[in-house]
Structure 1
């Protein structure tokens, strides 16, 4: 074989091996077999590269070439290895069909097949190694002579390589820590939003003097209110895009938040501030020390930093920048039932006190929000006529042919819609979509004449969209109803993959049929423009939050079976045979299970909330799921996967009582207890492995009906849990109905009092008569209630404090195991509770700490009480 042929043969093998290595790295599998094949294939690749280099620079009469030539003969080791690689490539990709379809590659080789592959690689590696060794001796002398030059040339390169590796490792660790502080990806949402901007629109906002003034004003605040559908989010994205391109640098910080009515549970004050921290340190490793410190304190323990810790870290990071811009979009969509919105604004203003933080916020016209921006600059957001024209012109490519070929008709459409939409981009979109199925000029003109104006225009546009959906073929109409039901009832935003899996689930089946998976484009096409997909995040959502409001008004009448359908889908999916196999043996297997079953995470988290309002309708399906130990074990492991350092050995085992108690499924629990055939005492008393009793779970989650049911069945001997006491936990969380139920059922906590009895008896037997070591049961009971009222006062639960003062025995608001209830309330700034406790005779004296004393005096002065 001539040198060129041998070199070409080696090159062909290298090219094929490079492809196979790419496939091996893309395989969604963490098995040892796949990893070992990847390592060994990489090793032989490096040997062959070295060998090809020798071929290209060597001579044909060299001893090493003679040795190598035997490897390249027809059907020799090199040829056999090439054939093995071709077989490996074909098996992994199904002949290339997987790559074309964009599906995930999976490792599908048995142990013996893997052993055969490794054996072939090892044989060729040995032979190539021998060929290289033959050349080694002949070149040893020359290598020795050049040793000095080699060291001089390569040591700096080696050091550079080490530095690069260390830099890459530090960068990877920084990215890991940044992702730990906040998984929220607002930059992806920014990309999605700005991509929907019609070119040229929104320039009026950037040119406005208010925006220009805000850009240059230290500690400035710009409030941008607007009517629903005015394009506030697009304008916020335009402002952020401008800042990203024109202002942001290593010395100027930028962070932004997109509030979302569908993600309110995930958008508490802590998570929003953490997302701001993340953006300010992302790509700025020198500014990441405060976050790294939090990571060291919490990551190994599996805990999350508190609000105060996150805010302290944010203040440290902010201090590293000369100035920072913060943009908060849709402040009205930030939850406020627990004070999150007010708390967030207060924290952002606190940042402005010590640093040059410039805040911009958009919102609907809500008096409470407007009051918070009384001293701020204001710039109303309203779709200008020119912006509306540009938007409509940009949508003409989607319109019927009769419009596209008639410039005069296009102008008429723009003129009429500009007048009709009244500054609402959303209405312009809906009115434009209403023309999609009009095929004649007359139909277009009639539709334009019927377009409503004013406050009723939006509802009218939605009504017409529903009429278009109902006018479709029956299959498309039902498909649209399912899509819209899932999106409106979903407890968090769904991805396109999750939605497709949800729609593929069929009742009374034991597995998912991949041939029943719908195409996302088909799903969008049947929804009359009411559903869109954010491409960066793959989130499928309604076109606007007002669409959610509309469907919440009409969905019960329009699709009365939606709740039963969604709950049944979740329960059917969780009952699949695949999940009846139980828990996984490692956290890697848990992650693989979630990856291969994309709908599992959602159903595990929210099946109970979907089942709650339709317990009777899904009773049989739910009982079948909840009474299967394998299904419960699978669900429990997925639910608990983040609690104990990602170690599956410590996850909390549950039975159906624990799950029913967690979600408040009282009707289902009654049915399940009947099926337990006398085992309810054992099941209810059992703790969820390293966990809590069913009564504790129900009390902690505020499900008073479950608490009452469990008390009726098994009494109060379940009152204690791993995380504390059920009664005190209910008081701490402000669940007044649960506190009432427990008090009405004699929640003296028998376990607590029995403990006091045992200690008293031990003290008596030892001859001790100290009142501290030998207390009365009344004292024990009072001490127990004092702790409960302290927790309620500390967390600001005024109604629970009133209940305890009225019903509990022997309470002393000045004492308690954990501290003074009056101090706890005053320290937290809960003025109503402080007044209530003062009326009960709480004393303010020098024994209280200065902070509490000052707060108490202030409250006393305001309430005209004397301390």
Structure 2
């Protein structure tokens, strides 16, 4: 068993020796380096690229005098174990010739350079083979015919329509392609790049904007034939209907592409030529310098994509693109083997007999500390990524942008908040900020976080804050473990060193491919709390967490509330929350008149309405809206938008005279206004959009919503001419729909509107709940998807790019149509169409992230209506299919999966009963095993109990001689394991591979507790555990645990 120990002493209680060890690195003497110490040459073309490069240095070295014939300006420093020399091309002088001259001088001065890095920005070449976006990274990679960089003549490429190669270039030194291949094989996560950017931004806050992704930078890819108007300096006036349709990404992290980079003598800004070269030669990126380096200064070329190599160029993305490229280059250096002199550092560190820290040579001590610092920093970055990847800053950042300056001061100055903030010693008590929907609780939460951050930043790391925003649109945000892991990540980020319990958990679980669990997370949070004087935690919108998660979440909050300062916000009338915080201090949240006045005046002043400047009328608007807002910020927002939407002062007065103090009545009024628009096309668009957003199963990207809204009655093909722009949707919906620019998701203005539409008869009339189901059926049945399954992954990807809503429709359509008998006929029509069914099955499995065997063309084509209906728990549809007797009940896919295997794997007991009553064979097997084996692997106790109650053999064998107990043990399904053992499953059965269930558990590196439980069961059954054989399966750390 793991034994966790950590130091409970605060920093000020550490003995003097510990303090000395912590601080001696800052007082060491700077080492003097020579030209020969530098082994990596880093060249940039632009000053902004050089700024990004310098920000990646772990340590900057003193400059060295240049030889008389070298006029380059160098920056020297250390990155990881490598000493790096950096320089930039002369200002305004770009291209291959300039790069070659700069590289030649660098090599003459620094003769120990082993290889070069050409790092900076470039123009992307997106194609159906490479979904390149702005902010992505392209890395040169040699192919059979090219060395990674291809020189070409831009002028001839345009004028003659041919790709005029101007020579063949060398490949980079072998160490670089090997490092690139290593990162590709390890599937380098963008989180490492983002960790470097965050670290650089922390060192230089002035660079935060450059090192942070922002949705303020538009990512517009126009059709190749659509040229930019040279008289316009931006693309704001370009025709957005000529944008290429691309599916939204699930993350804003940069994607890394490996392949050929074309290097020419001019900037590529001709989209048709770009596309032709990308298609014919596999070009991923265009730039201007690399061709001047490769023959005499072999380099790896790394480019951040800042534009699309077309006429629609902008400098908006340049700084961020340069930053991500520099961060990737730093990762490359962490993989490339060091030279002998650098390697000696690492070797010395590994030898405990050599104590460089206490050496008489300051150079040795400094180098050792740098190496240790780098290793520790990388280790911490990996641990933080493992703890949580939840984007906790996202909503906070958005709320800060929306918050009006000087609002919310009443809360910060309140006695309850001040007492909570100033209490010095534990035990503490949580504070509950409760308020009705729309009072501005989330914005106030962001204000409290800002205020506490300022306190923590001045407390020399003795105080820390963590926060979390629950969002009803994001189900994962309300998961208790997700919240705890996010809090643990944030606290760990502010600690140095990390508590021993966290590093121990990482070393034990990470190598097994396991995530940190609930109990371990709580243990680690306590360790963080013990290392700090005070910990603050802010959790917003607790009421938006799913009801099944709130119980665990509330008990955990109360468990920690005496050890750290916790403040939560929620609606006041939920019984479980009000009971939990009944005896704790609370703050009643309502929108204050002073805050509303600031907001309303700012909102009016930012428009060009005719009454702006008419102070008396503006005061009247403010007074009337505040009078009717009754403490609800949301009401004020909706009312001012309605008033500002009127064309004249007279119309605004009429609108002002009819505003309501009731939120539901206001929703009704706004919905009626939408329904009464004269243009019925706008009415239809708005009501469909509202219905879709009120009933979708997950948040939609704006591009997904616009795609499904293009569906028209009696259409056979999707027509992009009917696809509305996002701006049109927002306009038609009259302020009830908003776009989140941070995530590109589009949603209703407030979750209370969703509740109104779903529960109020008028809301259901305007936005019927069947709308999404009908649209999905019409969409999936289009002739666009009548060609059948796709031959390969690239074709699937192209489909998803062209039809952004298709993945959602394939995943959720069945759940939308279930329960609506009026749609059964259309559902059966779709299921009986072989090509539509194959496309649907293939995209569903591909988008779910399953292995290729599940989404290959053969498996997709072999699905039948009954197996597909089983996916979506379609009980009535399945009954009709069985009654018609057109499909054998045990008909299977190419992998052997029947409707029974699928229904039991989905824990659908009702459908499983129906199928077995119709003669389905419970012993029928797919590639994995029978229904019993698949259920054991899935861990569903309910359907397992049903199958066992039928009298099925609890020890039935699959093709590999495994019993259901083997399958459950391999997956660590403790509930199913106990159920099987209770039903008499044999603990000592040996599979064809020679493994008992215990052996399966050990080989798959299940928890020690789980393995010990199986060992106890074997001992109780009088069976030899076979410890020697088991130990052979274990890695050394597991052997030590045993």
The verdict on a shared fold, with TM-score over 0.5 as the criterion, is yes
1:312 aligns with 2:523: yes
Q: Which residue of 1 aligns with 2:50?
A: none
SS of the equivalent of 1:230 reads coil
The answer as to whether partners of 2:682 and 2:732 remain within 8 angstroms in 1 is yes
Q: Which residue of 2 aligns with 1:35?
A: 141
SS of the equivalent of 2:588 reads coil
1:374 aligns with 2:621: no
Q: Which residue of 1 aligns with 2:698?
A: 492
Give me the whole-angstrom Cα distance separating, in 2, the residues matched to 1:221 and 1:706. Answer: 47
Change (3 A) 1:416 1:125: closer
SS of the equivalent of 1:557 reads helix
**Matching of residues 435-514 of structure 1 within 5 Å:** 435-453=643-661, 457-472=662-677, 473-504=679-710
SS of the equivalent of 1:641 reads coil
The answer as to whether partners of 1:236 and 1:329 remain within 8 angstroms in 2 is yes
**Matching of residues 257-406 of structure 1 within 5 Å:** 257-264=468-475, 267-282=478-493, 286-287=497-498, 303-336=514-547, 338=548, 340-352=549-561, 355-397=563-605, 401-406=609-614
Superimposed CA distance per residue, residues 2-32 of structure 1 (whole angstroms, 9 cap, x where no aligned partner)? xx9xx99984435799899612598745999
The answer as to whether partners of 2:541 and 2:569 remain within 8 angstroms in 1 is yes
What displacement does 1:168 show?
7.5
Q: Which residue of 1 aligns with 2:950?
A: 748
1:109 aligns with 2:277: yes
Of structures 1 and 2, the one scoring higher in RCO (CA 8 A, sep 6+) is: 2
SS of the equivalent of 2:539 reads strand
1:725 aligns with 2:932: yes
What displacement does 1:665 show?
1.2
Q: Which runs of 5+ in 2 are unaligned?
A: 1-70, 72-89, 101-117, 152-163, 170-220, 247-270, 299-340, 346-361, 962-973, 988-1019, 1021-1042
The answer as to whether partners of 2:491 and 2:528 remain within 8 angstroms in 1 is yes
1:204 aligns with 2:410: yes
1:661 aligns with 2:870: yes
**Matching of residues 635-654 of structure 1 within 5 Å:** 635-641=844-850
Superimposed CA distance per residue, residues 143-187 of structure 1 (whole angstroms, 9 cap, x where no aligned partner)? xxxxxxxx99xx999999999899778767755654454342121
The answer as to whether partners of 1:494 and 1:541 remain within 8 angstroms in 2 is yes
Change (3 A) 1:718 1:298: farther
Q: Which residue of 2 aligns with 1:244?
A: 453
SS of the equivalent of 1:429 reads helix
What displacement does 1:128 show?
5.7
Q: Which residue of 1 aligns with 2:177?
A: none
SS of the equivalent of 2:583 reads coil
Structure 1 range deviating more: 596-605 or 253-262? 596-605
Q: Which residue of 2 aligns with 1:694?
A: 899
Q: Which residue of 2 aligns with 1:13?
A: 96
The answer as to whether partners of 2:138 and 2:284 remain within 8 angstroms in 1 is no
What displacement does 1:123 show?
9.7
Give me the whole-angstrom Cα distance separating, in 1, the residues matched to 2:380 and 2:852. Answer: 23
SS of the equivalent of 1:109 reads helix
**Matching of residues 537-548 of structure 1 within 5 Å:** 537-548=743-754
The answer as to whether partners of 1:24 and 1:38 remain within 8 angstroms in 2 is no
Give me the whole-angstrom Cα distance separating, in 2, the residues matched to 1:216 and 1:650. Answer: 66
Change (3 A) 1:611 1:314: farther
The answer as to whether partners of 2:462 and 2:532 remain within 8 angstroms in 1 is yes
What displacement does 1:401 show?
3.2
1:682 aligns with 2:682: no
Q: Which residue of 1 aligns with 2:725?
A: 519
Give me the whole-angstrom Cα distance separating, in 2, the residues matched to 1:505 and 1:694. Answer: 31
Q: Which structure has the bigger radius of gyration?
A: 1
Q: Which residue of 2 aligns with 1:255?
A: 466
Give me the whole-angstrom Cα distance separating, in 2, the residues matched to 1:349 and 1:39. Answer: 65
Give me the whole-angstrom Cα distance separating, in 1, the residues matched to 2:227 and 2:370. Answer: 36
The answer as to whether partners of 1:222 and 1:359 remain within 8 angstroms in 2 is yes
Give me the whole-angstrom Cα distance separating, in 2, the residues matched to 1:748 and 1:418. Answer: 67
Give me the whole-angstrom Cα distance separating, in 2, the residues matched to 1:616 and 1:244. Answer: 56
Selected match of 2:123 from 23, 30, 33: 23
Change (3 A) 1:315 1:127: closer
Change (3 A) 1:655 1:254: farther
What displacement does 1:221 show?
1.1
Q: Which residue of 1 aligns with 2:630?
A: 422
The answer as to whether partners of 2:830 and 2:837 remain within 8 angstroms in 1 is no
What displacement does 1:229 show?
1.4
What displacement does 1:502 show?
2.9
What displacement does 1:222 show?
0.8
SS of the equivalent of 1:750 reads coil
Change (3 A) 1:44 1:193: same
The answer as to whether partners of 2:668 and 2:763 remain within 8 angstroms in 1 is no
What displacement does 1:449 show?
3.0
Give me the whole-angstrom Cα distance separating, in 2, the residues matched to 1:83 and 1:182. Answer: 46
Give me the whole-angstrom Cα distance separating, in 1, the residues matched to 2:783 and 2:819. Answer: 19
Give me the whole-angstrom Cα distance separating, in 2, the residues matched to 1:314 and 1:481. Answer: 47
Change (3 A) 1:110 1:726: closer
Give me the whole-angstrom Cα distance separating, in 1, the residues matched to 2:725 and 2:883. Answer: 44
SS of the equivalent of 1:715 reads coil
Bigger strand fraction: 2
Give me the whole-angstrom Cα distance separating, in 1, the residues matched to 2:413 and 2:137. Answer: 57
SS of the equivalent of 1:358 reads strand
Q: Which residue of 2 aligns with 1:618?
A: 826
The answer as to whether partners of 1:511 and 1:578 remain within 8 angstroms in 2 is no
Change (3 A) 1:541 1:81: same
What displacement does 1:530 show?
0.9
Give me the whole-angstrom Cα distance separating, in 2, the residues matched to 1:439 and 1:220. Answer: 52
Give me the whole-angstrom Cα distance separating, in 1, the residues matched to 2:701 and 2:366. Answer: 43
What displacement does 1:599 show?
3.7
What displacement does 1:432 show?
1.6
SS of the equivalent of 1:492 reads coil
Superimposed CA distance per residue, residues 370-391 of structure 1 (whole angstroms, 9 cap, x where no aligned partner)? 1101232111111111112122
Q: Which residue of 2 aligns with 1:707?
A: 912
**TM-score, normalised to structure 2's length?**
0.56
Q: Which runs of 5+ in 1 are unaligned?
A: 46-78, 85-89, 131-150, 760-789, 796-810, 820-846, 848-867
Give me the whole-angstrom Cα distance separating, in 2, the residues matched to 1:590 and 1:165. Answer: 46
Give me the whole-angstrom Cα distance separating, in 1, the residues matched to 2:517 and 2:284. Answer: 54
Q: Which residue of 2 aligns with 1:854?
A: none
Superimposed CA distance per residue, residues 673-712 of structure 1 (whole angstroms, 9 cap, x where no aligned partner)? 67884443232xx6967xx753354245453442233113
Give me the whole-angstrom Cα distance separating, in 1, the residues matched to 2:846 and 2:387. Answer: 23
Give me the whole-angstrom Cα distance separating, in 1, the residues matched to 2:141 and 2:730. Answer: 40
Selected match of 2:619 from 411, 420, 432: 411
The answer as to whether partners of 2:465 and 2:491 remain within 8 angstroms in 1 is yes
Change (3 A) 1:262 1:345: same
Superimposed CA distance per residue, residues 539-574 of structure 1 (whole angstroms, 9 cap, x where no aligned partner)? 222111111111112443223351333322563489
Structure 1 range deviating more: 508-517 or 524-533? 508-517
The answer as to whether partners of 1:727 and 1:739 remain within 8 angstroms in 2 is no
What displacement does 1:426 show?
1.0
SS of the equivalent of 1:227 reads coil
What displacement does 1:327 show?
0.9
Give me the whole-angstrom Cα distance separating, in 1, the residues matched to 2:500 and 2:382. Answer: 13
